């Protein structure tokens, strides 16, 4: 905020977040007719303002006593759209912080936090007018109307119905003039009702506890959290799939709801909402509001309102639900906190998990992060004593743990994509009437070069990191140091010419499996086949029927669906995760495999997991084969520390997309020079890596390149980014070039 002595205009100024790519607030004069006593104006309300030649909707962020601009350049707000703020103080602080931390324009941050309808300026409450009989209607009044049959008709209709709207009156064939005459005689009165201003939900103590007897570990977790229901505290509920985490959530939710406070539950992106809502609805009688991608604009607005006015006890939703305003927040839960979908991958690139933690802090309420495979960031925060670690080591009820077996496919010609032994095992399970899940790891997939004969992988000797294959021009590049090599013609290790860069795709595998198993249905579940919600629902139903079938899919399958009929999980290729260009590759692969394994053998069936790899001896896989994620994660954390990568350092990525590689690299080269200069002058310790073409060099016809900024101290990185972004905004960029900043990037590809 500018200091008062730089003001050129003195007087009340409204600072507004305007949806625009500019990273600043805009100053406006109050509307001409503003009566501050009667129409309080506070941050968090929407205003309609002139912006350029258009009128737009913005959000009031601050009130100031003056502006750096001269009076002649200031324009007044056209209208104040709300009578109360749409965001609590705590939430508004989170949004302010997010705009600074992610270096994203405040106007776009505030827009992202609102449902489309509110963004467009629709009233929070729809106002409706009704007419009802006057309070003390004189008995003789009806007589008075004998000679005015239309008026009498209306009065009697209103008496019968209790109240009628203008539309209903008009439907009776009665004009508004008649209505006005009755009003003037004092026989009819107008009332204004705002639709959706519902009563707060009613809470019942003890409701929602269910009748299961908690396991010792569950009971201990519940006790630990219950001690902190009225203050900020962050809990990691670390329990294998099926260990009863949801049961623990529900016990705590019951406590919170009983005090009349609301619960915010965040879940990953994919189709889990109906299952979770159903479980909550069976347990709790309070209204539940849901925010997810399957809603239309009206439904979204409705859910948002229910949370905002406090009529819903529970707000459940995916990433953006973290911005849902709650009238009376009491608890936040982030289920599957490790899930990558909590990070927005374009536009305003926020982490919903991280903002949820900040929000709990701002609102001074507890937050529970739940996962069977916690992220390394979260485990590191546990190590540092910032989060409380609660563990559930055993599966609830009678469920049996799975076994994992590594299938060595080095020296195998996998034309069918599968080792013979794997095919046999699949057949065995199907013939016993069970279901099989075949999983393809696509996340973090970047083309790497390996030998189909001996399993050799092209690696940069300086970094011991795998090379990424770039096709134009054909070369190998190291994304750590920038080294470049020619593509070899033959394997340097065994001289075989069977070098391959491509993994097998889902559609290809679907064909292969359908040919192998003609007598069983093959259901492919990936982003393409599930674009239709109905098809996805049909497939899930087929799986739920329990009939033997083969389920083929990607990461989507690892998320929370319960598939009790599955007794065998096959991981087609562990190597793309093992040798990912993404430093999180191994973490993500481990999480996915453990999660997928957790889908198998729920309830009474014992589950088996087969993992194919050309590197079955690899330490990471060996550790994983024990299915002890905690031990495995410790190992990975040590590696990260040695490598100086997050969470032991802080990372930001400047990305650029352009019509030609040269243009993008040139822009990032300028950015890199500025970053290096700024760091030097200010003594900020920030490493500047690149620019380099992105591992996935071309996407949707555009060339992509990236510049990594890595710092041990977060403050150094943040200071640099503020200055650097301000400078980049001033640069002229060639037509068709787009750049963006990603703070704490999840996806490095």
Where do contacts with ligand ADP occur on this chain (CB under 6 A)?
A: 212-215, 218, 239, 241-247, 396-397
| Residues touching Zn ion, count (CB under 5 A) | 15
Our CB check for ligand ADP shows the closer of 67 and 218 to be: 218
- 696 belongs to the binding site for Zn ion (CB under 5 A): no
Cβ at position 393, least distance to ligand ADP in Å: 11
Taking Cα atoms as reference points, which of 77, 61, 57 lies closest to residue 118? 57
Residue whose token pair is 């219950």: 226
Q: Which does 241 bind (CB under 5 to 8 A by kind): Zn ion, ligand ADP, none?
A: ligand ADP
Cβ at position 220, least distance to ligand ADP in Å: 12
CA distance 220 to 393: 12
DSSP 3-state assignment of 103? coil
Our CB check for Zn ion shows the closer of 220 and 454 to be: 454
Our CB check for ligand ADP shows the closer of 109 and 399 to be: 399
List the x/- string, 397-436, binding to Zn ion by CB under 5 A: ----------------------------------------
Long-range own/partner contacts, residues 506-510 (CB < 8 A, 24 or more apart): 506/440, 506/442, 506/552, 506/553, 506/554, 508/417, 509/417, 509/438, 509/440, 509/552, 509/572, 510/552
Our CB check for Zn ion shows the closer of 491 and 566 to be: 491
Residue whose token pair is 């290096």: 676
Taking Cα atoms as reference points, which of 145, 11, 138 lies closest to residue 67? 11
Q: Which does 491 bind (CB under 5 to 8 A by kind): Zn ion, ligand ADP, none?
A: Zn ion
Instruction: Calculate the CA 40 to chain-centre distance.
Output: 34
CA distance 174 to 182: 12
Q: Which does 733 bind (CB under 5 to 8 A by kind): ligand ADP, Zn ion, none?
A: none
What separation in angstroms does the CA of 14 have from each of 41, 43, 538?
9, 9, 53
- 114 belongs to the binding site for Zn ion (CB under 5 A): no
Cβ at position 557, least distance to ligand ADP in Å: 15
Cβ at position 397, least distance to ligand ADP in Å: 4
Cβ at position 393, least distance to Zn ion in Å: 40
Cβ at position 410, least distance to Zn ion in Å: 9
Cβ at position 713, least distance to ligand ADP in Å: 37
Taking Cα atoms as reference points, which of 692, 722, 728, 729 lies closest to residue 707? 692
- 451 belongs to the binding site for Zn ion (CB under 5 A): yes
- 456 belongs to the binding site for Zn ion (CB under 5 A): yes
Cβ at position 443, least distance to ligand ADP in Å: 21
Our CB check for Zn ion shows the closer of 264 and 451 to be: 451
Q: Render 715-743 in DSSP notation, one character per residue.
A: HHHHHHHHHHHHHHHHS---TT-EEEEEE
Q: Which does 247 bind (CB under 5 to 8 A by kind): ligand ADP, Zn ion, none?
A: ligand ADP
Whether the CA torsion 519, 523, 529, 532 is positive or negative: it is positive
Stretch that binds Zn ion, among 165-173, 338-346, 395-403, 453-461 (CB under 5 A): 453-461
Contact yes or no for 668/654 (Cβ under 8 A): yes
Rounded to whole angstroms, the maximal C-alpha distance in the chain is 109
CA distance 635 to 327: 43
Our CB check for Zn ion shows the closer of 272 and 499 to be: 499
Our CB check for Zn ion shows the closer of 476 and 491 to be: 491
- 481 belongs to the binding site for Zn ion (CB under 5 A): yes
- 491 belongs to the binding site for Zn ion (CB under 5 A): yes
CA distance 725 to 649: 20
Of the residues 285, 496, 669, 719, which one makes contact with Zn ion according to CB under 5 A: 496
CA distance 290 to 459: 47
Q: Which residues bind Zn ion (CB under 5 A)?
A: 451, 453-454, 456, 460, 462-463, 478, 480-481, 483, 491, 493-494, 496
């Amino acid at each position: 905020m500018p200091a008062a002595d730089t003001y050129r205009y003195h007087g009340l100024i409204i600072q507004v977040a305007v949806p625009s790519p500019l990273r600043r607030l805009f100053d406006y004069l109050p509307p001409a007719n503003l009566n501050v006593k009667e129409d309080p104006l506070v941050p968090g309300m929407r205003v309609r303002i002139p912006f350029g030649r258009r009128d737009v909707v913005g959000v009031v962020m601050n009130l100031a006593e003056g502006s750096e601009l001269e009076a002649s350049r200031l324009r007044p707000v056209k209208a104040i759209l709300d009578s109360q703020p749409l965001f609590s103080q705590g939430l508004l602080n989170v949004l302010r912080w997010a705009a600074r931390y992610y270096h994203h324009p405040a106007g776009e941050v505030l827009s992202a936090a609102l449902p489309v309808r509110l963004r467009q300026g629709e009233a929070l409450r729809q106002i409706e007018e009704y007419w009802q009989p006057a309070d003390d209607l004189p008995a003789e009044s009806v007589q008075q109307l004998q000679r005015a049959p239309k008026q009498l008709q209306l009065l009697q209709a209103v008496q019968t119905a209790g109240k009628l709207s203008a539309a209903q009156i008009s439907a009776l064939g009665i004009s508004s003039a008649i209505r006005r005459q009755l009003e003037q005689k004092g026989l009819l009165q107008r009332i204004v009702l705002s639709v959706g201003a519902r009563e707060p939900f009613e809470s019942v103590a003890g409701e929602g506890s269910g009748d299961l007897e908690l396991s010792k570990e569950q009971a201990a977790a519940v006790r630990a959290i219950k001690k902190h229901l009225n203050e900020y505290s962050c809990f990691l509920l670390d329990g294998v799939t099926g260990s009863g985490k949801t049961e623990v959530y529900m016990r705590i939710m019951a406590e919170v709801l009983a005090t009349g406070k609301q619960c915010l539950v965040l879940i990953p992106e994919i189709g889990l909402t109906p299952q979770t809502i159903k479980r909550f609805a069976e347990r709790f009688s309070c209204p539940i509001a849901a925010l997810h991608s399957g809603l239309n604009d009206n439904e979204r607005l409705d859910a948002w309102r229910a949370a905002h006015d406090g009529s819903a006890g529970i707000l459940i939703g995916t990433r953006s639900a973290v911005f849902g305003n709650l009238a009376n927040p009491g608890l936040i839960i982030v289920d599957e906190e490790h899930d990558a979908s909590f990070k927005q991958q374009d536009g305003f690139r926020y982490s919903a998990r991280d903002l949820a933690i900040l929000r709990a802090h701002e609102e001074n309420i507890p937050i529970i992060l739940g996962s069977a495979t916690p992220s390394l960031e979260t485990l590191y925060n546990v190590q540092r004593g910032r989060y409380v670690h609660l563990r559930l080591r055993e599966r609830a009820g009678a469920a049996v743990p799975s076994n994992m077996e590594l299938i060595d496919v080095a020296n195998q010609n996998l034309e069918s994509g599968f080792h013979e032994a794997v095919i046999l095992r699949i057949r065995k399970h199907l013939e016993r009437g069970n279901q099989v899940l075949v999983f393809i790891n696509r996340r973090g997939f970047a083309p790497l070069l390996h030998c189909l004969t001996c399993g050799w992988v092209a690696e940069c000797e300086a970094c011991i990191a795998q090379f990424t294959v770039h096709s134009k021009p054909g070369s190998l590049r190291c994304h750590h140091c920038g080294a470049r090599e020619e593509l070899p013609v033959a394997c340097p290790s065994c001289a075989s010419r069977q070098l391959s860069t491509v993994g097998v795709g889902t559609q290809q595998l679907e064909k292969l499996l359908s040919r192998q198993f003609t007598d069983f249905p093959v259901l492919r579940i990936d982003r393409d086949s599930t674009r239709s919600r109905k098809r996805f629902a049909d497939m899930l139903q087929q799986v739920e029927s329990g009939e033997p079938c083969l389920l083929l899919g990607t990461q989507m399958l690892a998320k929370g669906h319960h598939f009790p009929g599955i007794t065998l999980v096959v991981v087609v290729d562990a190597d793309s995760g093992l040798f990912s260009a993404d430093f999180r590759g191994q973490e993500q692969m481990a999480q996915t495999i453990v999660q997928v394994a957790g889908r198998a053998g729920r309830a009474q069936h014992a589950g088996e997991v087969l993992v194919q790899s050309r590197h079955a001896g690899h330490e990471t896989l060996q550790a994983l084969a024990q299915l002890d994620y905690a031990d495995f994660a410790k190992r990975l954390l040590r590696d990260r520390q040695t490598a100086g990568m997050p969470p032991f350092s802080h990372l930001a990525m400047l990305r650029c997309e352009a019509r030609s590689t040269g243009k993008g690299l040139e822009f990032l080269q300028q950015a890199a020079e500025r970053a290096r200069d700024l760091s030097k002058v200010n003594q900020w310790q920030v490493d500047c890596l690149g620019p380099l073409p992105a591992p996935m060099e071309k996407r949707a016809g555009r060339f992509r390149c990236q510049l990594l900024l890595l710092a041990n101290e977060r403050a150094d990185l943040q200071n640099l980014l503020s200055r650097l972004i301000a400078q980049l905004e001033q640069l002229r960029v060639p037509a068709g070039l787009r750049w963006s900043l990603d703070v704490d990037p999840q996806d490095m590809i």
